[in-house]
């Protein structure tokens, strides 16, 4: 990073303080205000942290103006087309894609850790049957800390590797068990002979009564969904991982905190809301009515499948999932399904209608993620769980990067206090 350039902060035309300008590899420059408070007595106020960089990272670059999403420099669309999810997970952790030997070793390590401790299996019985799967996941993932005390010591690379393998390997098992528990079906143990994505589908939809083998088209579509959702840069959930991890918390506790953050409707809940919106439209005959209402309240669409607050041109992840969605519908023979016909009609209008085009309200990643999951037979209550599964590799990569940062220390954001000034209690009579 280049730091030779300087800016100057002048207050009331009198006192001035020089501020270094940090130039990233790609993206906007940053003002280095780390020592500003100590030097000047002034702090920055930035609700939502939209103008503040809380860390340095090499993992992901999202350039909304260029429409680029890069993981260690690799375009997300190339990764989604040419890699499987575990290769991308390896990349996020290590900074390079694995060679054949590294890939085999990594896959073997993940397979070895996929099964759950028998006492963890019983842990599910403490939840109500109607508990939201995301609530179950927060509890179960957090409970991993109680089963792996060694994870609290992450002072060497081998211990961190083991924690990474454990949580990435067990997330499919944890998610599938949360689903099975919610519908009252027996848990399915992971199979060593299946790949990561196929194994997850087997644990979700297999039963002891019959032989289940995932359809290749389903595996391909879900693999791409996992890849495009694996890492999103410094969003709320990832920042939660770093915030919790800055205290030295167990990595499983950090991931549980991120899952809790992700469960909010303003975060990954958008896919669930998107499908609810399509269900509310109901039939292609009502699409025109929906479009007319959207013109009146276009802002509501930002959280239900259209537009993006960062990618202002196009999001390459959306292009990947759109292609995967169309391929999946064709392979499963679902093109004439009522809901997907509604989605197709809305999609066509969004790409051609001047109102949508001018306001950049194109179908986004949430739109296609919801439709792919619906086509796979995943219920809406599980949508955010699927995203959590995919995001775990990215969260753990961010956690480990934070630990290796020489500037790593406990996070302590400032506040702008607007409460009552000091006052005294009245003397009693």
The pLDDT, as a whole number, for residue 3 is 62
Tokens found for residue 395: 């969260």
As a whole number of angstroms, the distance between CA 220 and CA 197 comes to: 8
Tokens found for residue 330: 């064709």
- For residue 369, which of 350, 358, 385 has the smallest C-alpha distance? 385
Task: Write down the mean pLDDT value for the chain.
Answer: 90
Catalytic residues: 308, 366
Please state the pTM of the whole predicted model. 0.92
Domain boundaries, the chain: 4-52, 79-410
Query: What order do you get walking across the sheet with 60-63 strand by strand?
Result: 60-63, 68-71, 74-75
Q: Do domains 4-52 and 79-410 have the same CATH topology?
A: no
The pLDDT, as a whole number, for residue 14 is 78
Q: Which residues pair with 74 in a beta bridge?
A: 71
Residues in the chain: 429
For 26-46, the pLDDT digits (tens) are 888 999 988 888 888 888 898
- Residue 310 binned pLDDT confidence (cut-offs 50, 70, 90): low
CA trace torsion 294, 298, 304, 305 (10° rounding): 90
The pLDDT, as a whole number, for residue 389 is 97
The pLDDT, as a whole number, for residue 299 is 59
Q: Which residues pair with 284 in a beta bridge?
A: none
Q: What is the DSSP letter of 14?
A: T
As a whole number of angstroms, the distance between CA 72 and CA 59 comes to: 5
**79-410: in CATH 1.10.580.10:** yes
Return the percentage of the chain with pLDDT > 90, whole number.
62
3-class SS of residue 187: coil
For 221-276, the pLDDT digits (tens) are 999 999 999 999 999 999 999 999 999 999 999 999 999 999 887 776 788 888 88
Distances (CA, A) of 355 to 254, 359, 384: 42, 6, 30
For 183-219, the pLDDT digits (tens) are 999 999 999 999 999 999 999 999 998 889 999 999 9
- Residue 312 binned pLDDT confidence (cut-offs 50, 70, 90): low
Higher pLDDT, 348 or 356: 348
CATH class of 4-52: mainly beta
- Residue 118 binned pLDDT confidence (cut-offs 50, 70, 90): confident
Distances (CA, A) of 62 to 118, 214, 311, 312, 374: 41, 33, 8, 11, 27
Average pLDDT for 94-123 = 94
For 295-305, the pLDDT digits (tens) are 777 655 555 77
- Residue 428 binned pLDDT confidence (cut-offs 50, 70, 90): low
């Amino acid at each position: 990073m280049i730091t030779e350039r300087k800016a100057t902060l002048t207050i009331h035309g009198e006192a001035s303080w020089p501020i270094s300008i940090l130039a990233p590899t790609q993206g906007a420059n940053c003002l280095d205000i780390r020592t500003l408070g100590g030097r000047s007595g002034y702090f920055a106020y930035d609700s939502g942290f939209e103008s503040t960089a809380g860390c340095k990272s090499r993992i992901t670059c999202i350039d909304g103006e260029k429409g680029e999403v890069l993981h260690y420099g690799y375009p997300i669309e190339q990764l989604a087309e040419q890699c499987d999810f575990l290769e991308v997970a390896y990349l996020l952790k290590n900074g390079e894609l694995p060679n054949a030997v590294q890939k085999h070793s990594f896959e073997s390590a993940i397979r070895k850790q996929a099964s759950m401790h028998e006492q963890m299996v019983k842990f599910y019985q403490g939840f109500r049957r109607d508990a939201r799967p995301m609530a179950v996941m927060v509890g179960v993932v957090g409970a991993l800390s109680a089963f792996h005390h060694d994870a609290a010591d992450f002072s060497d690379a081998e211990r961190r590797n083991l924690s990474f393998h454990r949580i990435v390997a067990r997330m499919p098992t944890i998610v599938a068990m949360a689903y099975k528990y919610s519908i009252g079906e027996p848990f399915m143990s992971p199979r060593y002979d299946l790949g990561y994505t196929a194994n997850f589908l087997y644990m979700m939809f297999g039963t002891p009564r019959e032989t289940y083998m995932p359809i290749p088209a389903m595996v391909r579509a879900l693999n791409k969904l996992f890849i495009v959702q694996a890492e999103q840069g410094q969003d709320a959930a990832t920042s939660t991982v770093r915030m919790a991890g800055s205290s030295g918390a167990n990595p499983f506790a950090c991931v549980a905190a991120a899952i809790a953050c992700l469960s909010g409707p303003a975060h990954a809940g958008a896919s669930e809301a998107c499908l609810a919106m399509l269900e509310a439209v109901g039939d292609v005959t009502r699409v025109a009515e929906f479009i007319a209402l959207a013109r009146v309240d276009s802002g509501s669409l930002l959280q239900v499948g259209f537009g993006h607050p960062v990618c202002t041109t196009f999001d390459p992840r959306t292009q990947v999932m759109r292609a995967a969605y169309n391929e999946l519908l064709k392979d499963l023979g679902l093109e004439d399904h009522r809901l997907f016909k509604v989605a197709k009609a809305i999609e066509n209008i969004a790409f051609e209608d001047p109102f949508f085009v001018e306001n950049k309200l194109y179908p986004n990643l949430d739109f296609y993620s919801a439709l792919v999951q619906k086509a796979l037979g995943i219920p809406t209550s599980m949508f955010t769980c699927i995203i959590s599964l995919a995001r775990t590799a990215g969260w753990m990569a961010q956690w480990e990067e934070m630990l290796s940062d020489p500037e790593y220390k406990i996070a302590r954001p400032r506040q702008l206090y607007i409460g009552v000034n000091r006052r005294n209690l009245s003397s009693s009579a």
